[in-house]
Amino acid sequence: MLKVKLNSQAPEAIETAALVTWAFQGPPAPPNTAGGGEDAERMGDESPALPPEELRLESGLAALDHRSGGRLAELSAAGELTGKAGEALLLHQPPGFKAKRLLLLGAGKPEKFSLHDIRNLTGTAARYLKGRGVSEFTFWFRPLQAGMSAGDAAEAAVEGAALANFDPDRYQTDKKNRKAIESLQLAGLVSDAEQGIRRGLIIAEAQNLTRELVNEPGNRLTPRIFAERAAEAARQAGLSVDILDENRMRELKMGALLSVAQGSAEPPRMVVLTYTPPGWSEASKPVLGFVGKGITFDSGGISIKPGEGMEKMKYDMAGGAAMVGALRAVAELKPGVKVIGVVPLSENLPGSKAQKPGDVQIAMSGKSIEVINTDAEGRLVLADALAYARQLGATHLIDAATLTGAIVVALGGVHAGAFANNQPFLDAFQASARAAGEKFWPMPLDDDYHDNITSDIADIRNTGKGRGGGAINAAMFLKEFVGDTPWIHLDIAGTAWLEEGRPWMAKGPTGICVRTLVHFAEHFGG
């Protein structure tokens, strides 16, 4: 785990392997009025060229330039230091500093600078430096923008570094180029940053726990193993844990979940993690239910998927893993609201006992379902998990699931889809998403879509009828199982796995939802 401490020394006095800070992009250079624009250029006017973009040597950075004997102004004039987002400039043995290196990261336009940039800057620094064998650095905050508190800035900085430390390299024996950042110092923050550091570590470690689970291949994370690992992480944090096996599922008549599991030799599980705040009483409201899809491998079942890319379907438990991470952070941060996490776990395989297209299943709620396509299994396991969360007393539900390929088509890898039956509840969730730096796009869920999921022989069918609106049809199906409970469904199929690495984040599992859910639990009053 990353070690973090505050350092109140002046930046030049800090002994560190790398002193890291940001540089803003300056205003565009004024037009060259000396010799008449294009003509002058064509005629080879020799007036000295202005630097393309001038570095704003504002506040601390100007002092830093001065101390380094004008090196930064020189680099700026040469166009090597522009402050553009994504730029990284490393100077060794910077004159006037005790630090061994000075790393300047472009931060774009100052007007747009936010906490999310801070998160990505420390992340970029961490990945840049650990890739070069550096295991410790100091992030120097210069004066913060108005409205940015030291605590929030520290939290974002710590999150960025801790998230950047994660690489999905558990099964690689040669990790010598992947050393981690072991310690981080934060300099230039005045006060109340300690609390931010603590929160940042808790939240990022929870998100990394989620990513670690999502990265696990199907053979090493069956429903039973997922349940054990979730239980272990939860008990350490003081959550209460209940794991339902197939016998209890039968008693509860979870016919939808059991129908998915019947095609596999591996038995299903349902993980229930409960956080109860100090002083909670039965009459206390609200109770949040966090429900996450936990298909540890999705082959499609009898409606089998094409082979190409099927290996990625080990990530079909990303929603469930997000709930485990969120509940662990909640247990450590201790908000005032009760939270119940429910994760239905199963494989979806075409074994000899597998369900078949056309089969009719009776869900725990009593609704009958015609299974048109066994690959639409996520909604089946969630149907019973949502019903169970309500039975356990959840007054508000949020589910997350890698539910449809259609959401990937609709929103790509940037936004997850957010469906809701209650606008104020979704508004509150979106406020948390903005604060946490995660993106969800609102999707429709009106009754006009209901015709898509009616069945000739049962109450509903598990796929839509036409070709369009696949993510909406899936959400409409789930809606059948939440009654009048305020509910949000997050389709994270496009956002749970990063297809290409970023300067601040490894390619692979993202841990989407964890930060927003934790923030939401901390701020939700009903």
Could you list the active site residues? 305, 379
Nearer to ligand BES, 160 or 294 (CB): 294
Contacts of 446 (CB under 8 A, 6+ apart): none
What does R_g of the chain's alpha carbons equal in angstroms?
Answer: 26
Residue range at the interface with ligand BES (CB under 6 A); choices 137-145, 203-211, 354-362, 403-411 = 403-411
258 interacts with ligand BES by CB under 6 A: no
Shortest Cβ 303–Mn ion spacing (Å): 8
Query: What does the per-residue mask of binding to ligand BES show for 460-479, with x meaning CB under 6 A?
Result: ---x------x---------
316 interacts with ligand BES by CB under 6 A: yes
Nearer to ligand BES, 264 or 432 (CB): 264
Strand segments, DSSP code E, in 238-383 are: 240-244, 269-275, 287-292, 294-298, 338-348, 360-362, 368-370
438 interacts with Zn ion by CB under 5 A: no
Alpha carbon distances (Å) from 477 to 114, 340, 376: 38, 22, 11
Query: What does the per-residue mask of binding to ligand BES show for 186-225, with x meaning CB under 6 A?
Result: ----------------------------------------
Could you give phi then psi for residue 18, rounded to 5 degrees? Answer: -155, 130
Closest residue to ligand BES using C-beta atoms:
405
196 interacts with Zn ion by CB under 5 A: no
Nearer to ligand BES, 214 or 234 (CB): 214
3-class DSSP assignment, residue 454? strand
298 interacts with ligand BES by CB under 6 A: yes
> What is the number of other CB atoms lying within 10 angstroms of the CB of residue 525?
8
- Helix, strand and coil percent figures for the chain, each rounded to 5: 35, 20, 45
Closest CA to 514 of 241, 320, 274: 320
Could you give phi then psi for residue 158, rounded to 5 degrees? Answer: -70, -40
Nearer to ligand BES, 230 or 403 (CB): 403
Is residue 193 within 8 A of residue 13, CB to CB? The reply is no
Contacts of 273 (CB under 8 A, 6+ apart): 230, 234, 239, 240, 241, 323, 324, 327, 340, 341
Nearer to Zn ion, 370 or 491 (CB): 491
Residue 307 CA to its chain's centroid (Å): 28
Pull the structure tokens for residue 257.
Answer: 């979940």
Nearer to ligand BES, 154 or 471 (CB): 471
Is residue 28 within 8 A of residue 54, CB to CB? The reply is no
Closest CA to 377 of 334, 420, 340, 346: 346
Shortest Cβ 357–Zn ion spacing (Å): 16
406 interacts with ligand BES by CB under 6 A: yes
Shortest Cβ 436–Mn ion spacing (Å): 28
Determine which residue in the list 11, 378, 469, 486 makes contact with Zn ion, applying CB under 5 A.
Answer: 378
Residue range at the interface with ligand BES (CB under 6 A); choices 55-63, 175-183, 373-381, 386-394 = 373-381
155 interacts with Zn ion by CB under 5 A: no
* Binding stretches for Mn ion (CB under 5 A): 298, 375, 377
65 interacts with ligand BES by CB under 6 A: no
Q: Which residues bind ligand BES (CB under 6 A)?
A: 298, 316, 373, 375-378, 402-406, 408, 463, 470, 493
